[in-house]
A and B are shown apart, each in its own frame.
Chain A
Amino acid sequence: MKIGGHDWPLEPFGKHIWRGRMESGQLLAWVRAVREEGGQLVALWGSDDRHLDGGFGIHAACLTSAGLVWMSSDLPADAPRYPDLAHIFPQAGRMQRAVYDLLGIQAIDAVDTRKWLRHDAWAENEFPLRRDFSGHSPAPLAHDTYPFIRVEGEGVHEIAVGPIHAGTIEPGHFRFSVIGERVLRLEQRGGYAHKGTEKRFEGMDLATGARLAGRVSGDSHSAYVWAYCMAVEAATASTVPQRGIWMRALFLEIERIANHLGDLGGLGNDVALSFGLMQFWRLKEDWLRLAARLFGHRYLFDCMVPGGVAVDIDDPGKAELIGLSHRIETEIRQLKAIYDEHATLQDRFAHTGVCQPELAAQLGLTGLAGRASAQAWDARVQFPQEPYEQLNVSMATQRGGDVLARAEVRFSELHESLRLVRDILLRMPAGALHAPLAAVSASCEGLGWVEGWRGEVIVAVRIGRDGRLDRVHPHDPSWRNWPLVEVGMPGNIVADFPLINKSFNLSYSGPDL
């Protein structure tokens, strides 16, 4: 396979997905080749392979012209180290720090080696994802300190926000360095929602694993379960019935619509237009209630299972869903006209929290925020999995990179997803909803890749000889986007932070794992 002008030994590993292995010394040349042809580093994670007669493993998932490539290197058990990748792909920085916190695998010559996921729950010389980690129950909390980067100069002061915020949002810490109202620098600290998710997967059966995968970031439940199922089905070489696959796409689009409706209301609220909040949340509530009535859960939790889906839709149900999709489409058109005409809202949205396209490309901004900064990537369009290859998704992009652009992308995607829901319902084939997974006799691996409402969700799975989960790494798009919130903030005023943050609406739980 030719990538970045060189040939690489890659095996097909699924639709648009490739698998490669190389010496860790070659990793740098590999990611450089990816960068040169305009690709991106999507995820970086590690593994303890000592129980499989190996040492440790370092794994990188890269988006290339050929699709998604899962590249791995074996590292010696006594000194697991690999070359720093953050100087080529800055988004690797936090991932490298997390890999060290969890596994003690070191990036050689990395600039930032501060802890990331580790606070005070386990000691510096302990690594929870190592197989011989002993601390399975809570140890006493140690004293936690973290060296934030200090801005100095006359009149500069710091505002510390979180981990508990003023509104109903997830826990995280933001450190603002400001002069007057203007922000000079924003630094984020994450890890507050770290709940040992990856450790929890170890030894779990495949069905329970799907439920846990769906709770990595609850607002992206369908995206995560689908990616997990795709990985498990690829690993076990199992086939999913066509109707099951189409139902999954239906669930994913229902989830996208619910989240976009909520965000557009929230954005209105953040510029004091509570009318927007109430109108969009009224529509969202109608949408959630119909989902609950048709599928048994407002957010479709556990509707997808390995091998297919657990619930079906009948003709009256289809008619109801199509009917509501038409009504919502009409209403959001009216609401868009109001947002477009509302001077205060436009004034607050435009030129606020700008991520320039060049910077977005450099730092790897992804998903809907990426598309609002001219990063024209959508896995449903470039590398569609079934059934998206038959759906002709039209991608929404903007160049502005501000709050307004991110709102515009949401409006466009709402219309497109409402159309997709109708299209899927009308064209969905009849037949079985799920099929049993093929039996496992040897250790096997799979990768799932799904364009969720926030961006691409990746789940890498290794199943052990006993047919239970051995290593699972779920990867949230927020890993790549959080650093851009830091970059989009300087020059803005502190009071605009909630608005900017909401316009990205990133997950804390997803990357905190």
Chain B
Amino acid sequence: MPTPLILYKIFKAGRVSEAPPEADLSLRTRVQTLHADILKVFGQAVAIRHIDAGSCNGCELEIHALNGPHYNLDGRGVKFVASPRHADLLLVTGPLSRNMETALKRAYDATPEPKWVVAMGDCGCSGGLFGESYATRGKVSSVIPVDVEVPGCPPTPIALLQGILAAVSPAGGNTTDPDAPGRANE
């Protein structure tokens, strides 16, 4: 039975989770008026649906990394979900390939209001090295409204988390409301 080995390993590795970064409000590209109302109810707990719209898969590496033990996403009430219908926030990567354009629009429409969109990576923010071409639309905001843009190739997990938190922070930027759910585990 491997159970003693597992327990020993968990005990030995200890807790590696780190304190989360502050939201980086400079990454915001727009503020929705619904913000205050939503946040009153949900705090910063947010369900994210990731959509790869033609990324090189570099950004996906960092999304995976963000789900690792160092970043303690669940502890913040942030989780990745399997369907846009379950999501508050769409996290979109890639220079928006034309072959994903229809799927992206459909996913956006399937996400219930109110919703946020975070464009991730240089490609999602500007088209990056791929730019706009016969095969790409470039930045994500050329097809759906975007609330936050997180540049980087790829952005680090910390930068990505700062962007996600910027989307779900109150308009004024107060991220330290101790009563907000989703902060209970700190």
- Which residues of A line the B interface, CB within 8 A? 119-122, 128, 133, 135-139, 141, 144, 163-164, 166-171, 191-197, 199-200, 208, 211-212, 215-219, 221, 262, 266, 275, 278-279, 281-282, 284-285, 288, 292, 298-299, 301, 334-335, 337-338, 341-342, 507-509, 512
Contacts and interface: CB of A to CB of B under 8 A. Distances in A.
A275 B10 contact: yes
A198 to B, nearest CB: 10
B102 A141 contact: yes
B61 A218 contact: yes
- The 9 closest A-B CB pairs, nearest first, are A218-B58, A196-B135, A121-B98, A281-B68, A166-B82, A341-B2, A218-B56, A215-B56, A119-B99
B156 A298 contact: yes
A170 B9 contact: no
Contact of A171 (B13, B100, B135): B100
A286 to B, nearest CB: 9
A192 B100 contact: yes
A193 B100 contact: yes
Given A164-B103, A193-B52, A199-B135, 6 more contacts: A144-B102, A170-B55, A195-B95, A282-B68, A285-B70, A509-B57
Contacts of A508: 57
Interface string B101-112: 111000100000
Contact of B132 (A137, A285, A509): A137
A282 B16 contact: yes
Interface in B131-175: 131-137, 153-154, 156
30 contacts: A120-B102, A121-B135, A141-B102, A168-B50, A168-B52, A169-B52, A169-B60, A171-B54, A171-B100, A193-B52, A193-B54, A193-B99, A195-B95, A195-B136, A199-B135, A200-B131, A211-B129, A215-B153, A217-B57, A218-B55, A262-B61, A275-B6, A279-B9, A281-B68, A282-B13, A298-B62, A298-B156, A334-B9, A338-B5, A338-B6
Given A168-B64, A507-B57, A212 B98 contact: no
Contacts of A191: 99
A167 B50 CA distance: 8
Nearest to A135: B134
B119 to A, nearest CB: 16
A195 B54 contact: yes
Contacts of B69: 278, 281-282, 285
Contacts of A194: 54, 97-99, 135
B99 A216 contact: no
A196 B5 contact: no
B54 A288 contact: no
B108 to A, nearest CB: 11
Given A169-B52, A170-B57, A219-B61, A196 B134 contact: yes
Contacts of A135: 134
B9 A335 contact: yes
A509 B156 contact: no
A137 B163 CA distance: 30
A163 B82 contact: no
Contacts, number: 181
Contacts of B84: 164
A509 B130 CA distance: 13
Nearest to A297: B153
Given A192-B54, A338-B9, A119 B98 contact: yes
Contacts of A215: 56, 58, 128-130, 153
B184 interface: no
Nearest to B98: A121
Contacts of B67: 168, 281
Contacts of A144: 102
Taking residues whose C-beta sits less than 8 angstroms from the other chain, chain B's interface range is 35 or more
Interface of B: 1-2, 5-6, 9-10, 13, 16, 50-65, 67-70, 80, 82-84, 94-95, 97-103, 107, 128-137, 153-154, 156
B68 A285 contact: yes
Given A141-B102, A170-B52, A288 B135 contact: no
Contacts of B55: 170, 193, 218, 509
B90 to A, nearest CB: 10
Contacts of A278: 68-69
B16 A221 contact: no
A340 to B, nearest CB: 8
A202 to B, nearest CB: 11
A337 B2 CA distance: 8
Nearest to A119: B99
A338 B6 CA distance: 7
Contacts of B61: 218-219, 262, 299
B100 A301 contact: no
A57 B19 CA distance: 57
Contacts of B80: 167-168
A104 to B, nearest CB: 15
B95 to A, nearest CB: 6
A341 B1 contact: yes
Contacts of A266: 64
Contacts of A334: 5, 9
A284 B63 contact: no
Nearest to B60: A168
A342 B10 CA distance: 16
A275 B67 CA distance: 13
A297 B85 CA distance: 35
Nearest to B127: A195
B78 to A, nearest CB: 13
A192 B93 CA distance: 13
Contacts of A128: 134-135
Contacts of B6: 275, 338
Contacts of A284: 65, 68
A452 to B, nearest CB: 13
Nearest to A218: B58
A284 B69 CA distance: 11
B130 A196 contact: yes
A193 B94 contact: yes
Nearest to A137: B132
Given A195-B94, A200-B133, A171 B58 contact: no
